[in-house]
Structure 1
Amino acid sequence: MQTHEIRKRFLDHFIRAGHTEVPSASLILDDPNLLFVNAGMVPFKPYFLGDQTPPFERATSVQKCVRTLDIEEVGITTRHNTFFQMAGNFSFGDYFKREAITFAWKLLTDSVEDGGYGMDPTKLWPTVYLDDDEAESIWRDEIGVPAERIQRRGMADNYWSMGVPGPCGPCSEIFYDRGPEYGVEGGPEADEDRYIEIWNLVFMQNERGEGTTKDDYEILGPLPKKNIDTGMGIERVACLLQGVDNVYETDLMKPIIDLTAEIAGRGYAAGNHDDDVRFRVVADHARTAVMLIGDGVVPSNDGRGYVLRRLLRRIVRSVRLLGGHQAMERVITAVIDLMTPSYPELAEQRAHILSVAVAEETTFSRTLESGSKLFSEAADATKQAGSTSISGTDAFTLHDTYGFPIDLTLEMASEAGLSVDRDGFAELMNEQRQRAKADARARKSAHADHHVYREFLDRGPTEFTGFTELVSEARVLGLVSDGERVRSAAPGAELELILDRSPLYAESGGQMADHGTITTSDGVRLRVNDVQKVGKKVWLHKVVVDEGEIVEGDQVLAAVDAGWRHGATQGHSGTHMIHAALRQVLGPTATQAGSLNRPGYLRFDFHSGTGLTESQRTEIEQIANEAVEANYTVNTFETDLTKAKAMGAMALFGENYGDQVRVVEIGGPFSMELCGGTHVASSAQIGPITVIGESSVGSGTRRVEAYVGMDSFRYLSRERALMAGLAASLKVPSEDVPDRVEQLVHKLKEAEKAVESLRAEQARAAVAGLIDEGVTVGDTLVVAARVGDGVDANGLRSLVTDLRGRVADRNAVIALFSAGDGKVPFAVGTTDAARGAGIKAGDLVREVAPLVSGRGGGKPDLAQGSGTDAAGIDGALARLREVIGAR
């Protein structure tokens, strides 16, 4: 039975039993405790916790899940996947143990013709909690499972909770006996490789207290309602129903392994364990990557993006170790095709998913070329020093300069028989993070202790009035200074102020916060410099008290700086213009990856593996300005998410939206996006849009920057004045300036070449006598010297090659150093005879580089490097002679 059929039968079974089908939630939910959704019940947590009233009494779903704690174990064990599908049925105060057990048993054991899975009942072993006589009785007396196939287990195995205070309860797990060839008899208690768990039925009936492990917390008492939460592993059931040994041989995984084997030119399950692990890594990680990118994750160096980057890079490296190259596009395409029957949205996102994955492959392939060389040098140096641990500094350099994740360095070190100084690496990483985040910590409320805002969060959201008015009457609900509640604040105080309603926009969706004022009728005046959100619903006005004393409970007038708002709306609406233009020019894969709008300026990040050409940039600017000139009306309205998407409204990848969304439509089909920001009334109010730059901001992500309105005019005015000045200086009309500048640049380059040629001739003349000054060390002529300062690396290389040619028939080593501008370049060359005697230029460079505080490397015939300590040159020359003499 195919996996898609297993999934469909599960949902159909519970729909017939009166359950509401709930589509899988995104892998990214607004839960600070979770990187990704990791269990089927996670989307239902608010109902189980009592935070929200469920809209149904019975529900069923097949939830996408990702668990990444044990990425290194993927492929080593044959039951572990990072992505998996958890089928579940849920009851919110409706049915309980008897129905849950019966529903599960019928689906598992009913015949295929009757809609079940047709499993042999004698193969199924239930487990129950130690004192759950009721569950055992149902299994034994009503279902008919013999008592000897029902096992009781303790809290660690058969008592469920979320790991924190809240709902909990005993559970009953269902295991399938795979037969004696998989292990010993005796049920799950004896062997969980032979007896594999396929379903867990949680009887959520109690509330638990504090605790740190699975079985050390107190049961506080019963819940007001008894609930059911179950989870059946789709992949494990597929493994059993398809009669294969492990999840990697099922219908959604084995084709990926077969394709990888075709690309690599070697077989799976051919007796090479390491190769088999790599095949399984590719299959597992490719599937997970597709699902993550489809839900809006893009590669980055932290958080969810780092997990995705790590998965994609492990695919690249695994394929390479198998002997293949450039496999990403074929593998990802195959995964999309395999998963689309259950997740049709993947077909719509195909181009985007492929673009992100292939761009990461391209980037990492370059990283592997440069970083692997540096790793090999670090590993060799570590071994030569008699150590078994690569330094934290080297590991950090690999990460920071070459983009090597620490996990990859650890893997490669392990393969080389080495370890890594992880503490040293962590210390350097922490120092970098502290520097990078210092400004953010000072500015954003997200880093504050939110307990002080609890009262306001519980009260409900701040009413935002800024869509319809710039001045609003409001009441001061609270004042917060340095993380503490205060009742009043005097002139000069800087604090956070919470109002019941506000026209001032709080920073979100890329739009910066409004500036403005808060005043009272008796002369109190506060300056608003920033507005942030806490808990996504309470506005924190960052204010300075300019006049009077503000007191909690005061009635105030909150006013937006009209000039600031006008500029901000121009920037935000201009961003929508640029987004629409980009999609016209580049196609639907140019999806938004972030934005920032402030008065007169916008920047827009989008997914693309390549930069814009000059003609594309011009076309995007023209399309955006044509939309401005068309004076399109800007319409905003609220509707439900499904209708908005059906209308063609663009949603930000990975963003979580509620059932009701706000749509901003500009020019009908020209631009329609889900957006909670403020906008101009018509596109003409944006004013001219001038694109001032396009650049890369990371793997597969580009950034467009532009001015709008008067800032655009001022920019163009400055450019015009600059052009007029150049034309006057060059004594040509403005339209001839580019050609004239190109001519001058060409002449300058020719002059620079002539000067460089002259310097090279002078340098050659200066070093011509060095051969006569060379010394013989053993039987090797050593020509080693410091040449005139200011010779660059290329010049030294040329000189070394020239001198080596003059003594090509001798056993000789040429080594030249220079210094200038804080750098110490050096180069070493060897003749054929010297190499025949075992002298290698690369080895010599590595010996002398530390003496000038540098590093270097190269081939046996020619190597070079660079340092920063010119005072060490004499010592380096002496060391070189010493090494040659000691060979």
Structure 2
Amino acid sequence: MQTADISRRYLDFFAARDHTVVPSASLVSDDPTLLFTVAGMVPFVPYLTGVVPAPYPRAVDVQKCIRTNDIEEVGKTPRHGTFFQMLGNWSFGDYFKEGAIEYAWEFLTKPEAEGGLGFAERDLWVTVYETDDEAAGLWKKIAGLPDERIQRMGKEDNYWSTGHPGPAGPCSEIYVDRGAQYGPDGGPIVDDTRYTEIWNLVFMQDLITNVTGKTQFDIVGELPQKNIDTGMGLERVAFLKQGLENMYETDQVRPVLDVASALSGRRYGADHDDDVRMRIIADHVRSSLMLMSDGVRPSNEGRGYILRRLMRRSIRSMRLLGFEGPSFAELFAASRDAMKAGYPEVETDFSRLSQIALAEEETFLNTLSAGTSILDLAVSKTKAAGTPQLAGDTAFLLHDTYGFPIDLTLEMAEEAGLEVDRPAFDALMADQRARAKADAKSKKQTLADVTAYSPFRSLGETVFTGYTDLATDSTVLGILVDGHPVTAAVAGQTAEVILAATSLYAESGGQMPDKGRIVGDGYVLDVLDVQKPVPGLISHTVQVASGEVGVGVAARSEVDAAYRRGATQAHSGTHLVHAALRQVLGPDAHQAGSLNRAGYLRLDFGWNKALSTETKTEIEEIANTAIRDNLEVVTREMPLDEAKALGAMALFGEKYGDVVRVVDIGGPWSRELCAGTHVATSAEVGMINLIGESSVGATSRRVESLVGMEAFRQFAAERALVNELTANLKTRPEQLVDRVGELVTSLKAAEKKIQAFEQKALAERVPTLADRAGRIGSNLLVAEHVGALASADELRTLANQVRTRLGDVASVVALTADVGGRPVAIVATSPAAREAGANAGALAKRMAQVLGGGGGGKPDLAQGGGSDLGAIPTALDAVRAELGA
């Protein structure tokens, strides 16, 4: 049974049972807290949580997903894949446990000839939550399962939640027994390789709170609306129904594996390690193709980083198979052909996708060459020091900064007689995985490819002095122009400049980069951007204002003091607003992103509804009270574990090392991990003025605020406006709202009267215009310019009334007017005129051509216009000529 056939059967089965078929959402999740759609339920979260009313009572879908948290298991187990498809059926307050179990059992056991999957009932086992007697009873009642094939498990396995306070509930998982040759007897509680899970039925019935972990929460009641959320792994079902050993051999994946085998000359099934490598290639190439088809491009952060990692793991696996040349042209074409039946976009857009893949492959093959040189140097230094182990941070630097795979580092170190401190590397990798989930900030300037920075980064980290100094003397380590190293840059050029030390802050943690300049003997550089293209390295994008700057010369970085002051006010202001939010809304209002620049801050936080005016005022008042109280701002560096023990909050998008910087405002009142620049006391923030609050997703909100002098200027501008209004309206400030309301009411009444007068005036013009009708050919024609009118609607009304006035005779009314300084033409024809061949649409189009514009419409009524008021007489003559011809 082909994979596409399983999908079709599933959708057809539930569609026949009144489920709305919902197309797959993009792999790029709308949820700002997620990089990808990591599970089939992600697109339905707003409905499941009740944030958004469900548009249908029940639904069915096949959702494409990406999940890389188990990437190291890919190829090693039968069922781990980074790209997978989830079959799901959903009930939003409609059917519940009994319906979900009935549908699942029927679809799984229904004969293939009747549209089901035809699994043998004797091979199916289920698990239920340890206290869910209802579900266990339903499995007995509906499926007739004996007690030994209904196994109970705890929260870790059989209870679902989002990880946050809100909806949750027990689940029931369905397993297929693959046979004694795959493991011991005893059901899934004994062995989950022999007993392969294929379907999870979540019974969303509980409300939970005090969530501190996957199994740590309190159930505080039942949900008013109970939902069903199910997910069945399509790839798992496919390899079982196709009689295969694993998902990598199914019809949508195996073709890529076969191409990898053919290119490398290694036979699949002959060697375990080679088999794992071929499976990795098959999985990762498919995942990469699907990600690119949803708009993701390889990069060094966020979604692009995940894609790049998948592609580079594929290239590395081909090298381990003994194939060192380009392979993506063949591999991606094979994946396209395997996937196009289910996802036609991979074929229609393949030319673009292929270009991206081939460019990434070429870049990484070059990176491998450069990384080999760097590793050789590290090996030499390690051996010279008499150390038997290559340091874990060296291996990680090669991996994270230069894209050099760890398995290649291990292999080459072993050849040199060295080991690698793998535990230290693995610890750094764990931190990197967490960082990779953070949404990437778009960079204002295009930075060079990561490999271009390796010579500079190998010299050590850039020293940042900007916490204490606004100017720093240093040396130019390197210059890049268009991504390539050069020895000098001259006036007028844009370049990247790498310094040994800098006082200029690089964009990070939501804080925008400093403004300033770099100066030296005979040159001035205006700083356009400051970024960290690789960890530990700061790059300045500059415009050479004058002179010539060269590698090795002295350089002085100078921060724009006024801009830095505003930026520090904004960043400290963000901490104040965050603390105020949590004080008012509670701990669920956790920061999920920010942006700080001089005079302005923006903060995203987890919340699912708009803030009331009263709530915003309260948040603003708490933040400004903290400013008034002149709280001390203290920054400290300490081990990460110690900082967390103190209650310091780790924020979305930040990257943390073993030693972190903790920023306290008023002691524990606000305590966060933060590498940004800050004021010395809260009073220096000056003022917080919330100017906006909006939605950035189903469960996220955004507040915006002006800070410091910008906040004051906004208040001053509003005060000036109030003063002007009170003076003009001759009223007091506290009476202004009522006075404006009175004026609005009076204005609306006046507008109605004016409209009535205008309609009366138009009607009075109808007889005069009708009396001017003259015969041309078989028609009476009124061709007149009526002067200035407020709108085209008025002209249309006038033309219709004149046509009615002329009665049943064959008549054509062609009127023009000046509407807002532009000519407008309306043509109306009577039935008799149309029978005689007059067409309003054609006549209006002809007039519009003369007026320098366009037009047209129906045969009875049409409109045109243009830009040349002086051409109106000629346009009216054109109508006369058309009718007289």
**TM-score scaled by length of structure 2:** 0.53
Matched, 1:101 2:240: no
Q: Match of 1:217? A: 217
Q: Report if aligned partners of 2:391, 2:420 keep a CA contact under 8 Å in 1.
A: no
CA distance in 1, matches of 2:89, 2:137: 22
Q: Match of 2:64? A: 64
Of 103-112 and 151-160, deviating more is 151-160
Shift of 1:539: 4.6
Q: Match of 1:314? A: 313
Pairing partner for 1:419 from 421, 425, 429: 421
Q: Show the 5 A alignment for 1:835-846.
A: none
CA distance in 1, matches of 2:250, 2:313: 22
Q: Report if aligned partners of 1:37, 1:66 keep a CA contact under 8 Å in 2.
A: yes
Q: Match of 2:506? A: 436
Change in Cα spacing, 1:501 to 1:284, as seen in structure 2 (3 Å) is closer
Output one character per residue of 1:79-122: Cα deviation in whole Å (capped at 9) or x when no partner: 21111111111111110011100111111111112111111111
Pairing partner for 2:690 from 469, 473, 498: 498
CA distance in 2, matches of 1:140, 1:401: 56
Shift of 1:275: 1.2
Q: Report if aligned partners of 2:64, 2:84 keep a CA contact under 8 Å in 1.
A: yes
Output one character per residue of 1:232-265: Cα deviation in whole Å (capped at 9) or x when no partner: 0100100110000111111111111111111111
Q: Match of 1:200? A: 200
Q: Match of 1:134? A: 134
Q: What is the number of equivalent residue pairs in this alignment?
A: 517
CA distance in 2, matches of 1:37, 1:389: 40
Q: Report the AA paired with residue 173 of structure 1.
A: E
Q: Match of 1:284? A: 283
Output one character per residue of 1:583-630: Cα deviation in whole Å (capped at 9) or x when no partner: xxxxxxxxxxxxxxxxxxxxxxxxxxxxxxxxxxxxxxxxxxxxxxxx
Matched, 1:241 2:241: yes
Q: Match of 2:371? A: 371
Q: Match of 2:623? A: 484
CA distance in 2, matches of 1:220, 1:194: 37
Q: Match of 1:5? A: 5
Change in Cα spacing, 1:197 to 1:7, as seen in structure 2 (3 Å) is same
CA distance in 1, matches of 2:186, 2:307: 41
Of 537-546 and 273-282, deviating more is 537-546
Q: Report if aligned partners of 1:481, 1:495 keep a CA contact under 8 Å in 2.
A: no
Q: Report if aligned partners of 1:39, 1:86 keep a CA contact under 8 Å in 2.
A: yes
Q: Report the AA paired with residue 194 of structure 2.
A: R
Q: Match of 1:386? A: 386
Q: Match of 1:304? A: 303
Output one character per residue of 1:46-86: Cα deviation in whole Å (capped at 9) or x when no partner: 12222111111111111111111122221122321111111
What is the DSSP-based 3-state SS (H/G/I as helix, E as strand, rest coil) of the residue aligned with 1:550? Answer: helix
Change in Cα spacing, 1:213 to 1:366, as seen in structure 2 (3 Å) is same
Q: Show the 5 A alignment for 1:345-356.
A: 345-356=345-356
Shift of 1:385: 3.6
Matched, 1:266 2:431: no
Of 117-126 and 160-169, deviating more is 160-169
Amino-acid identity (%)? 47
Q: Show the 5 A alignment for 1:824-839.
A: none
Q: Report if aligned partners of 1:128, 1:136 keep a CA contact under 8 Å in 2.
A: yes
Shift of 1:386: 3.4
Q: Match of 1:674? A: none
Q: Report the AA paired with residue 441 of structure 1.
A: Q
Output one character per residue of 1:138-179: Cα deviation in whole Å (capped at 9) or x when no partner: 111222223332222222222222222221111111110111
Matched, 1:544 2:709: yes
* Consecutive unaligned residues in structure 1, runs of 5 or more: 459-474, 509-533, 560-632, 634-666, 669-681, 683-887
Shift of 1:19: 0.9
Output one character per residue of 1:522-579: Cα deviation in whole Å (capped at 9) or x when no partner: xxxxxxxxxxxx96765534562597893999795899xxxxxxxxxxxxxxxxxxxx
Q: Show the 5 A alignment for 1:175-194.
A: 175-194=175-194
Q: Report the AA paired with residue 58 of structure 1.
A: R
CA distance in 2, matches of 1:115, 1:558: 76
Output one character per residue of 1:278-315: Cα deviation in whole Å (capped at 9) or x when no partner: 11110011011111112222112222211111111111
What is the DSSP-based 3-state SS (H/G/I as helix, E as strand, rest coil) of the residue aligned with 1:29? Answer: coil
Q: Report the AA paired with residue 291 of structure 2.
A: L
Q: Report the AA paired with residue 150 of structure 1.
A: I
Change in Cα spacing, 1:480 to 1:48, as seen in structure 2 (3 Å) is closer
CA distance in 1, matches of 2:216, 2:700: 32
Q: Show the 5 A alignment for 1:591-740.
A: none
What is the DSSP-based 3-state SS (H/G/I as helix, E as strand, rest coil) of the residue aligned with 1:437? Answer: coil
What is the DSSP-based 3-state SS (H/G/I as helix, E as strand, rest coil) of the residue aligned with 1:398? Answer: helix
CA distance in 1, matches of 2:63, 2:420: 41
CA distance in 1, matches of 2:103, 2:705: 50
What is the DSSP-based 3-state SS (H/G/I as helix, E as strand, rest coil) of the residue aligned with 2:419? Answer: coil
CA distance in 2, matches of 1:60, 1:269: 38
Q: Report if aligned partners of 1:478, 1:487 keep a CA contact under 8 Å in 2.
A: no
CA distance in 2, matches of 1:215, 1:142: 30
Q: Report if aligned partners of 2:175, 2:197 keep a CA contact under 8 Å in 1.
A: yes
Q: Report the AA paired with residue 123 of structure 1.
A: D
Q: Report if aligned partners of 1:127, 1:151 keep a CA contact under 8 Å in 2.
A: yes
CA distance in 1, matches of 2:68, 2:393: 27
What is the DSSP-based 3-state SS (H/G/I as helix, E as strand, rest coil) of the residue aligned with 2:284? Answer: helix
Q: Match of 1:52? A: 52
Q: Report if aligned partners of 1:95, 1:228 keep a CA contact under 8 Å in 2.
A: yes
Q: Match of 1:120? A: 120
Output one character per residue of 1:659-685: Cα deviation in whole Å (capped at 9) or x when no partner: xxxxxxxx99xxxxxxxxxxxxx9xxx
CA distance in 2, matches of 1:40, 1:50: 17
Q: Show the 5 A alignment for 1:22-61.
A: 22-61=22-61
Q: Report the AA paired with residue 241 of structure 1.
A: K
Shift of 1:486: 5.5
Q: Report the AA paired with residue 92 of structure 2.
A: F
Q: Report if aligned partners of 1:128, 1:173 keep a CA contact under 8 Å in 2.
A: yes
Q: Report if aligned partners of 2:391, 2:421 keep a CA contact under 8 Å in 1.
A: no
Q: Report the AA paired with residue 235 of structure 1.
A: E
Shift of 1:383: 4.1
Q: Match of 1:796? A: none
Q: Match of 1:880? A: none
Output one character per residue of 1:336-394: Cα deviation in whole Å (capped at 9) or x when no partner: 22112112222232122212111110001011112123323423543454323323674
Q: Report if aligned partners of 1:90, 1:230 keep a CA contact under 8 Å in 2.
A: yes
Q: Report if aligned partners of 2:392, 2:420 keep a CA contact under 8 Å in 1.
A: no
Q: Match of 1:338? A: 338
CA distance in 2, matches of 1:313, 1:75: 16
Shift of 1:450: 4.1
Q: Report if aligned partners of 2:627, 2:685 keep a CA contact under 8 Å in 1.
A: no
**TM-score scaled by length of structure 1:** 0.52
What is the DSSP-based 3-state SS (H/G/I as helix, E as strand, rest coil) of the residue aligned with 2:342? Answer: coil
Q: Match of 2:85? A: 85
- CA RMSD of superposed structures (Å): 4.2
CA distance in 2, matches of 1:433, 1:52: 49
* Consecutive unaligned residues in structure 2, runs of 5 or more: 433-456, 465-504, 513-566, 590-612, 629-682, 725-821, 823-852, 855-865, 867-885
Q: Report if aligned partners of 1:495, 1:543 keep a CA contact under 8 Å in 2.
A: yes
Q: Report the AA paired with residue 46 of structure 1.
A: P
Output one character per residue of 1:182-222: Cα deviation in whole Å (capped at 9) or x when no partner: 11112112221111111011111001222444433221111
Change in Cα spacing, 1:285 to 1:400, as seen in structure 2 (3 Å) is closer
Shift of 1:126: 1.5
Q: Report if aligned partners of 1:479, 1:485 keep a CA contact under 8 Å in 2.
A: no
CA distance in 2, matches of 1:226, 1:424: 42
CA distance in 1, matches of 2:111, 2:393: 62
Q: Report the AA paired with residue 290 of structure 1.
A: L
What is the DSSP-based 3-state SS (H/G/I as helix, E as strand, rest coil) of the residue aligned with 1:365? Answer: helix
Q: Match of 2:756? A: none
What is the DSSP-based 3-state SS (H/G/I as helix, E as strand, rest coil) of the residue aligned with 2:50? Answer: coil
Q: Match of 1:713? A: none
